[in-house]
Chain A
Amino acid sequence: MNTVAYCNPFVPVEWLGAHGFQPRWLRLPRRGLAGSLAGPPSAEEPTVGGYRHVEGRRGVCPLAAASVAAISSASVDSAVVLTTCCDQMRYAASLLEQRPRVPLFTLNVPSTWQTPAARGLYLAELQRLSRFLVSLGGRPPADDELASVIGRFERARAALLAARSGLSARDFAAGLLAVRENADCALPRQSEPDAGLPLALVGGPVPESDDALFDWIQHAGGRIVLDATEWGERTLPQGVDVSRTQREPLAALADAYFAIPDVFRRPNTALYEYLGRELAARKVHGLVVRRFLWCDLWHAEVAELKAWSPVPVLDLDAADSEASSAGRTRGRIEAFLEMLR
């Protein structure tokens, strides 16, 4: 089956799947993330779409750079969908459009959300995405087909969330990526849930290549009970109205995704409402903010989170060129948990 790669939660996986494509969450190169888990780029790595390598370029978000690298390397995907949710990824999309290896679609996700016009813009963008997918050989889904796909993904997400308490944070994160690809994915095997002080992880994406972060927190005596990072459970669609999916499935889908609370929304009050609700419900003792260097959206929010949070906050920034940052990050996590005890 043809795959369509994406890496932003505002792209409805159901919409890709209902057009006959296999959604694929973009896996990012190991190097460069999580505070340099691995080494510098090797000399034989290809240039990016004919441009010089963008990783390590001053001012470029490591995640955007890694996305450019991943999309530019030999790909099996039929297409890639990126979004305008942050400026760096918007520019990454523009860069890739210059010398595309695969067809690329940039989904315009409004920052504002209060007006019917903003919601209408998002819906129109999904319809434009549909035309793009059809141009690649996809088929526009009938309403009942779309409703069926939505139902399957809803059940997969619900099953994963129900299993959360029996999973380690790392396995839960892997499960979250799986349900962004496949409604029939197997649930991660019940593992030994992490023990320790309950923490929330908030911030930008934690790619698979960075999942050692979960281990570090666990080894330091923490237990992530809320993964509110960009690729975590915070950004799962907020409950699709199943009864409505029978009548107007696309509108129901659009509304569910458009309501995702995120840092780039203006105002971003929904993010704080979500965190306030979930921190209390899960009896969180500490908040770990994980952000990439040059990510202005999360960086500017850290001070706000510290002022707002009812529990202590640890700010972890991840660079791509700092050889010692892995050790530094581990040390900061350990110190934070010592302080919480």
Chain B
Amino acid sequence: MSVPARRITLDEWDQRYAELLAAGLTEPWYGGPLRRHVEAGDRRLQKLHLDNSAAALRLWNFLLTEEQRLRQAREQGWRILGTLKDLGTIPVMAYALERVVAFYPDGAWWLPCMMENQTGLLELADQEGVDESFCPVRAMLGAFVCQTHFPIPDLLTCSVGATCDDVSAIAQRLVRLGHPMLWWEIPHRRHPEAGEEAIRLPGGFRAPACQVAFVRGELERIRTALEEWAGQRLSDDRLRAGIRRANQVRAQLRELRRLGYTADPCPLPALEMLVAEMLALHFCSDQAEARGVLEELLVEVRRRVAAGQGVLPAQSVRVYWVNPVADLRVMNLLEEVGGRVCGSEYLFCHALDPIPEDAAPLEALARCALADPLVGSPADRAARICREAHESAAQAVVVSRIPGASHCGLEGLVIADAVRTRLDLPVVEIEVPPITDALEPSLRTRLEALVETAGGGPGVG
């Protein structure tokens, strides 16, 4: 018998897991009850409401076993590449190689949340002089110091130039801790001058052809370095195959977003949507398995849409969400006050856009890298947000600030101004630290007010 779609607590998941097993659930090697992750330290799970499907179970288990996967890769003699900052470009190149796994050490920024500050990573960063005036990505510095969370990569790459100063500054510190870094330049994406040759980038931004050529040159430099490091040729053919595989993941995610953000009632909670979207970045260290995880989610979402099932009441207020949250709990909070996410720009929309397959591989990847919303003007980013918010019939926009992040000081002004001016929608800016428990009443009030304003009445809980 089909169980209605809903969001459940971890305690409820214990029972649900037993039911699934009794019904014949088969899981991959990393499967098991979610409870075990709490026992291993991921305490935040106890405060979250999670989707009750087997597909969501697999998603969470996939996410929360990444460190094990990386350690297995090392034990099996695979090379490990740490790719800092670019969010979706260098991993496509790395996964085109054999016996290489790539991941974002920056992803450690969620460890203080998931482990409810029991990691000591922020304290270690403090001791290194990188305090709370930095973005929570400073947890990465702590992780490199204690070396107990992920295996230390054999090589690190980091994009710098038009990137946030937090990561750039912390990456520089990593070098002095003895971790070799391959720096590459991503220039500030500017508007083409009148008469200047321009290239349309994935996602719709435009860039001067000379900037694309420059980035292509930088990626050539990375290719040469990766070939030398991995002892393999990274030919165009290999890259094309890698791009095709990455595009399969991106296509799955576009379809998931289309269904998950447009169907009413909402078929998949915002939290699971966020986690799923993150798989685009480095495939959670296993590209083939990431496709399997997404396929199962898609099957579940399609089933729910066909059955008219949702995890939230129909007609929940449609909210477009800007920036990822340092505390995942906040995605639950929006839904608790009567909202639902109908679109998102979590800083890596360029990792969701299809990589052109009709261009030379590094040309295509250069275009994708330049399409990063953070390398251009926040006005460009705001334009894309407005377009997507309009297309998804958003009734309100939340700009979620990342505390201390160098881009968050001013970008919210530009984005909020554009949304109000062009769409005449209510906008709220909130700041989300890694643990929001103490702030929850005020965050709840702000989100409630937004939902009530946008929905024309008190929110539905």
Contact = CB atoms under 8 A, between A and B. Distances in A.
B411 interface: yes
Contact of B190 (A88, A108, A111, A293): A108
B406 A296 contact: yes
Interface in A164-179: none
Interface string A290-307: 000111110111111010
A118 B166 CA distance: 22
Nearest to A105: B190
Contacts of B129: 299-300, 302-304, 306
A264 to B, nearest CB: 7
Interface stretch (B97-105, B155-163, B281-289, B363-371): B155-163
A49 to B, nearest CB: 10
Contacts of A118: 185
A128 B410 contact: no
A296 B165 contact: yes
B379 A90 contact: no
Interface in A54-105: 54, 57-61, 64, 84, 86-88, 90-92, 94-95, 97-98
Interface in A116-132: 117-118, 121, 124, 128, 131
Max chain B C-beta neighbours (<10 A), residue from A86, A117, A300: A300
Contacts of B164: 87
B44 interface: no
A32 interface: no
A111 B409 contact: no
B33 interface: no
A60 B404 CA distance: 9
Contact of A88 (B168, B183, B410): B410
Contacts of A64: 409-410
B417 A112 contact: no
Interface residues of B, number: 52
A87 B165 contact: yes
Nearest to B217: A117
Interface stretch (B24-32, B173-181, B321-329, B350-358): B173-181
A301 B379 CA distance: 31
B73 interface: no
Contacts of A266: 158, 160, 168, 171-172, 181, 183
Interface string A276-318: 0000000000000000011111011111101000000000000
A271 to B, nearest CB: 10
Contacts of B168: 87, 111, 264, 266, 296-297
Given A124-B210, A267-B183, A90 B417 contact: no
A88 B409 contact: yes
B409 A58 contact: yes
B214 to A, nearest CB: 6
Contact of B130 (A58, A94, A300): A300
B460 to A, nearest CB: 32
Nearest to B401: A59
Nearest to A116: B217
B188 A84 contact: yes
Contacts of B346: none
Contacts of B130: 299-300, 303
B379 A94 contact: yes
A17 interface: no
Nearest to A99: B417
Interface in A25-61: 50-52, 54, 57-61
B405 A59 contact: yes
Max chain A C-beta neighbours (<10 A), residue from B130, B409, B413: B409
B162 A84 contact: yes
B414 interface: yes
B172 A97 contact: no
A57 B161 CA distance: 24
B332 to A, nearest CB: 25
The 9 closest A-B pairs by CB, nearest first: A303-B129, A300-B169, A59-B409, A60-B409, A87-B406, A296-B165, A94-B377, A111-B160, A91-B410
28 contacts: A54-B409, A54-B410, A57-B413, A60-B410, A84-B188, A87-B164, A87-B165, A87-B407, A91-B406, A106-B188, A108-B161, A110-B161, A110-B187, A124-B210, A264-B165, A266-B168, A266-B183, A294-B406, A296-B169, A296-B406, A297-B169, A299-B131, A299-B134, A299-B169, A301-B169, A302-B129, A303-B128, A303-B129
Interface of B: 128-131, 133-134, 158, 160-166, 168-173, 175-176, 181, 183-185, 187-188, 190, 193, 210, 214, 217-218, 221, 377-379, 401, 403-411, 413-414, 417, 431
Given A111-B160, A303-B130, 20 more contacts: A58-B409, A59-B408, A84-B188, A86-B165, A87-B164, A87-B406, A87-B407, A88-B406, A97-B377, A111-B168, A117-B218, A121-B185, A264-B168, A296-B134, A297-B169, A299-B134, A300-B129, A300-B170, A303-B128, A304-B172
Interface of A: 50-52, 54, 57-61, 64, 84, 86-88, 90-92, 94-95, 97-98, 106, 108, 110-112, 115, 117-118, 121, 124, 128, 131, 264, 266-268, 293-297, 299-304, 306
